[in-house]
Structure 1
Amino acid sequence: MAKDKKNKSKLTKKLLHKYRMVILNEDTFEERYSLKLTRLNVFVLGTSSAIILVAATTFIIAFTPLREYIPGYSSPKLKEQAADLAYKTDSLQNVLMLNNQYLNSVKNVLTGKIDTKDLNRDSIIKHSKDSPDVEIISPSKTDSILRQEVAMEDKYNILPSATDQLDFSLFPPVKGSISENYNPEEKHYAVDVVVAKNSPIKSVADGRVIFSEWTTETGYVIIVKHGYGLLSVYKHNATLMKEEGDFVKAGEVIATAGSTGDYTTGPHLHFELWNEQNPVNPTDYIDFE
């Protein structure tokens, strides 16, 4: 017991033993500053400084924007913006993929990549080829009767179409006499308008160019996609004034008339009008003369 008390007393004296820290001028040895210290004071001061430093750092990281400059930390706003951009990028990729599929389908028809035996002169597929991955199932008698009943009902139904919703008149692409009318029975889904060579050809409505290239059968072809599901096609042009992706206004010149391609007999415009992927008679909506 006496030894423990002696050691404790010795430790206390060591902690409370006073020291003097003096700062001297190195050249003159003049005393500039002095401070009385003990081991206990130094320990308390060091511990307090460490606690204050840790508390200040924690406060800065937790409650101030300065934490954004610390590697590994980001603000909730930046995380929200990053997530929002990721969703938008994914949506845009889906839209771009669908648009590319649509444009590739149009290009394949117009550039002749599909077997010409399955095409007529207006780029309409006569029948689709059977896919090896699809099993052909013959309809039953009950199914055939139901199909016939539905077809008879739909025959007399007036269904709304894109052309029913038009609130604007279509601009004539050219003015001239019609050499060949729209005739679905002969699979001529267009009107041929005789015009002078290099006559300006204009867009029938506001829209965006989705095809503008040369084809062997119909020469220089330009296709414009409009609102309400409308699509206008201009063939046998001499030159094309617009490129794919360009936005055009109604009445804006998009090409010049010519006689290019294999299926032509002279300068004229072969004009097609499509409504929801179905051909319609352009003369029902446009006065060419």
Structure 2
Amino acid sequence: MAQKEKKRYLSRLKNKYRFSIYNDQTFEEVWFLRLSRLNVMAVFGGFSFLLVSLVIVLIAFTPLREFIPGYPDTHTRRQIVQNALKVDSLERKLDYWQQYLTTLQAIVNGENPPALEAKLDTTIRTKQIVFTKSVEDSVLRTQIENNEQYNLSVNTSPTDNTVKGFHFFPPVRGEVTSSFNLTHSHFGTDIASAPNEVVVAVLEGTVTMATWTLETGYVIQIQHNGNLLSVYKHNSKLLKKAGSHVKAGEAIAIVGNSGELTTGPHLHFELWFNGTPVDAEKYIVF
């Protein structure tokens, strides 16, 4: 019985029907269409599928989707992207400050900064080290020897308790890119020089600080006679340690580009007299 009912239902779907349009006055058949239930279902099914597909395409690939409640508009999406970038910048800034505080705590405790300890390879044994001279090392040695030929051994103490009483040795030869300016809180002189240029002490004195900071990179500071202090920042390498006694013209560092506040390879040189910054260009020819 079920199969007979099924066949009967299918045959009904396939039965043809005639849809005619007549002239109301002459009863003449103007237009007709032969249809079956199956044809009607197929036509309406195909039309519904095309309609749904068209709506989906319009919503997915046109700005019409912004009119849907709950969907973010262009301004909201742009704001989301900007907030994500700001959060990423804040995370990086916090990470830098955390590294700075960790490094500062290590220095205060008399320990090596974590960044420096990570670079140390403790697995190398001293017996396995082979000392060889490279071309760069030979050039550096020659340059230092030539510079130290003119070391000042005279007494550099002032005679009139002013900066003019000193006889300075240029810390590095180059071009001044930024001069001393108290108004803009620039307490030193920026000198651009050749790469890997040797930085020398301007006067005889004692190294009171040789360290690394996040903003100024490798920094070395020398205390001289007569309440005079010289500071050398943004070096790529320090050649002296705290407590070392240096002569005027003696090599103390290598010009570099270290620290966040640098804009290129140069030396930031500061000169302090009686606790006050002074313009080094008035007393030193770079």
TM-score range, shorter chain: 0.3 to 0.5
Structure 2 length as normaliser, TM-score? 0.44
